[in-house]
């Protein structure tokens, strides 16, 4: 019989998870490396668990003992505002002992390899490592050599699973479902881990995903992933229930993918006029950080249909759900 990482019952967290029955809620893997490793039932489990976690965030005392005695290390080798902050808040709300290490203040700057850095951190017996890295596949590599549970907080151009989960949660809050929705994702598709995780999640949950950008920024194999690629914003946005903008990632571009920012905004920037082609109850999303006047007009970013700050707020609850479910998985001892 397996046990869960709960010190004592908490009515908000310990109420039955829909579909969970008598068994403790669980994910099949003890790591979260990407959406690619999750099936529809696991995605639903995380989203349903997030509802309970969000309730905790609305209390006067926003803290439960769920991860008391557990140590979580946040290891960020790339800048982050939203992801790192929300993981830290999520860990504190679950009573974990937590510390954050930024690459600039670690011994990586003195020539230590990533593997050596992580092995040294592991020598201090953390339970979970939340990591962001510029190289795709780094969390997967570490999951093969670490005892700790690894949570991918964004790896290169590969995946950003908790971003896609918080996006899905936000969509579900507004639309009540994911299946059957038209979701238009517009921007720098080529360099985006957010695109990849969102397409995988939304397709798994039955949404109709359109991906729009300049031909130079559309990755090969997008159709195989399940999205409908197009260079026409009008086609992508027409009747869309959700419009999601992606940042132009200048820092990942080696060469000239767009002639100029002004031309990009003229052809692909999300303006109020373009939003009017979407469903009358459209919501507009952006994972951040956003470049106003490049991929999104300020009038859109600040419009009533923009849910960008709701996404950020939901990020805390989604990350609490992920930490909670993986802690339970960790204790049950599976791979
Ligand atoms: N959406 C996102 O990953 O933002 P940060 O880079 O600020 O974490």
Q: With 90 as the cut, is the pLDDT of residue 18 above it?
A: no
What is the pLDDT, as a whole number, of residue 256? 74
From the CB of residue 8, how many other CB atoms can be counted at a distance below 10 Å?
9
What does the alpha-carbon distance between residue 191 and residue 212 come to, in Å, rounded to a whole number?
Answer: 13
What does the alpha-carbon distance between residue 132 and residue 121 come to, in Å, rounded to a whole number?
Answer: 15
Question: How confident is the model over 184-236, as pLDDT tens digits?
Answer: 999 999 999 999 999 999 999 999 999 999 999 999 999 999 999 999 999 99
Question: How confident is the model over 76-122, as pLDDT tens digits?
Answer: 999 999 999 999 999 999 999 999 998 887 777 888 999 999 999 99
Q: Could you tell me how far CA 112 lies from the centroid of its own chain?
A: 29
Q: What is the mean pLDDT of residues 4-9?
A: 41
Q: What is the mean pLDDT of residues 258-287?
A: 95
What is the pLDDT, as a whole number, of residue 19? 40
What is the pLDDT, as a whole number, of residue 330? 59
Percent of the chain with pLDDT over 70: 89
What does the alpha-carbon distance between residue 94 and residue 20 come to, in Å, rounded to a whole number?
Answer: 21
What does the alpha-carbon distance between residue 313 and residue 318 come to, in Å, rounded to a whole number?
Answer: 9
**Ligand 1 centroid from CA 249, angstroms:** 12
Question: How confident is the model over 132-173, as pLDDT tens digits?
Answer: 999 999 999 999 999 999 999 999 999 999 999 999 999 999
What is the pLDDT, as a whole number, of residue 329? 64
Tell me which of 19 and 310 has the higher pLDDT. Answer: 310
**Residue ID of nearest Cα to ligand 1 atom 4:** 82
- Closest C-alpha to 94, from 72, 54, 65: 65
Instruction: Concatenate the DSSP letters of all residues of 19-39 into one string.
Output: T-TTSPP--SSSSB--GGG--
Is residue 202 within 8 Å of 254, Cβ to Cβ? Answer: no
**Ligand 1 centroid from CA 250, angstroms:** 15
Closest atom of ligand 1 to CA, residue 288? 1
Q: 32 vs 100, 169, 185, 335, CA distance in Å?
A: 19, 17, 24, 11
Is residue 327 within 8 Å of 6, Cβ to Cβ? Answer: no
Closest atom of ligand 1 to CA, residue 84? 8
All residues at 6 or more sequence positions from 191 whose CB lies less than 8 Å from its CB, including other chains:
157, 217, 249, 252, 253
From the CB of residue 174, how many other CB atoms can be counted at a distance below 10 Å?
16
Can you tell me whether residue 266 is helix, strand or coil? Answer: helix
Burial 18-28 (b: 16+ CB within 10 A, else e): eeeeeebbbbe
- Closest C-alpha to 115, from 146, 136, 137: 146
Q: What is the mean pLDDT of residues 253-272?
A: 85
Can you tell me whether residue 186 is helix, strand or coil? Answer: strand
Choose which residue among 90, 131, 288 to substitute to test ligand 1 binding: the one with the highest number of ligand atoms within 8 A of its C-beta. 288
Residue linked to tokens 């979580």: 72
Local structure of residue 32 (DSSP, 8 states): B
- Within 6 A (CB) of ligand 1 lie 80-83, 154, 160, 163, 287-289
What is the pLDDT, as a whole number, of residue 254? 58
- Closest C-alpha to 65, from 39, 92, 85, 44: 92
Choose which residue among 153, 163, 290 to substitute to test ligand 1 binding: the one with the highest number of ligand atoms within 8 A of its C-beta. 163
**Ligand 1 centroid from CA 81, angstroms:** 6
From the CB of residue 206, how many other CB atoms can be counted at a distance below 10 Å?
12
Q: With 50 as the cut, is the pLDDT of residue 2 above it?
A: no
* pLDDT-derived band at 251, boundaries 50, 70, 90: low
Burial category of 69 from C-beta neighbours within 10 Å (exposed 0-12, middle 13-18, buried 19 and up): exposed
Structure tokens at 103: 């690459």
What is the pLDDT, as a whole number, of residue 24? 60
Choose which residue among 86, 153, 154 to substitute to test ligand 1 binding: the one with the highest number of ligand atoms within 8 A of its C-beta. 154
Q: 85 vs 15, 195, 274, 313, 333, CA distance in Å?
A: 27, 21, 33, 11, 29
Q: With 60 as the cut, is the pLDDT of residue 3 above it?
A: no
Tell me which of 328 and 213 has the higher pLDDT. Answer: 213
What is the pLDDT, as a whole number, of residue 26? 84
Is residue 71 within 8 Å of 125, Cβ to Cβ? Answer: yes
Question: How confident is the model over 227-245, as pLDDT tens digits?
Answer: 999 999 999 999 999 999 9
Burial 214-238 (b: 16+ CB within 10 A, else e): beebbbeebeebebebbeebeebbe
Arithmetic mean of pLDDT over the chain: 90
Q: 72 vs 66, 91, 211, CA distance in Å?
A: 13, 7, 35
């Amino acid at each position: 019989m397996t046990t869960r990482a709960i010190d004592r019952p908490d009515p908000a967290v310990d109420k039955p998870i829909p579909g969970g029955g008598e068994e403790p809620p669980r994910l099949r893997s003890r790591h979260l490396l990407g959406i690619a490793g999750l099936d529809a039932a696991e995605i639903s489990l995380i989203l349903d668990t997030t509802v309970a976690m969000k309730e905790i965030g609305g209390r006067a005392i926003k803290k439960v003992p769920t991860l008391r005695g557990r140590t979580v290390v946040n290891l960020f080798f790339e800048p982050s505002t939203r992801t790192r902050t929300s993981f830290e808040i999520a860990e504190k709300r679950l009573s974990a002992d937590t510390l954050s290490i930024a690459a600039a203040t670690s011994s990586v700057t003195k020539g230590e390899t990533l593997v050596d850095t992580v092995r040294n951190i592991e020598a201090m017996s953390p339970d979970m490592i939340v990591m962001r890295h510029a190289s795709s596949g780094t969390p997967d590599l570490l999951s093969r050599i670490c005892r700790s549970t690894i949570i991918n907080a964004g790896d290169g151009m590969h995946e950003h699973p908790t971003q896609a989960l918080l996006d899905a949660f936000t969509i579900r809050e507004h639309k009540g479902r994911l299946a059957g929705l038209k979701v238009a994702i517009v921007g720098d598709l080529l360099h985006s881990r957010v695109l990849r995780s969102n397409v995988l999640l939304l397709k798994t949950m039955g949404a109709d995903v359109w991906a729009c950008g300049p031909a130079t920024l559309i990755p090969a194999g997008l159709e195989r992933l399940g999205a409908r690629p197009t260079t026409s914003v009008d086609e992508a946005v027409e009747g869309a229930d959700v419009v999601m903008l992606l940042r132009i990632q200048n820092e990942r571009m080696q060469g000239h993918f767009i002639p100029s920012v002004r031309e990009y905004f003229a052809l692909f920037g999300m303006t109020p006029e373009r939003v009017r082609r979407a469903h009358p109850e459209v919501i507009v999303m952006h994972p951040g950080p956003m470049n106003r006047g490049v991929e999104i007009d300020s009038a859109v970013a600040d419009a009533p249909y923009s849910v960008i700050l709701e996404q950020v707020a939901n990020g805390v609850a989604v990350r609490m759900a992920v930490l909670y479910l993986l802690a339970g998985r960790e204790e049950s001892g599976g791979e």
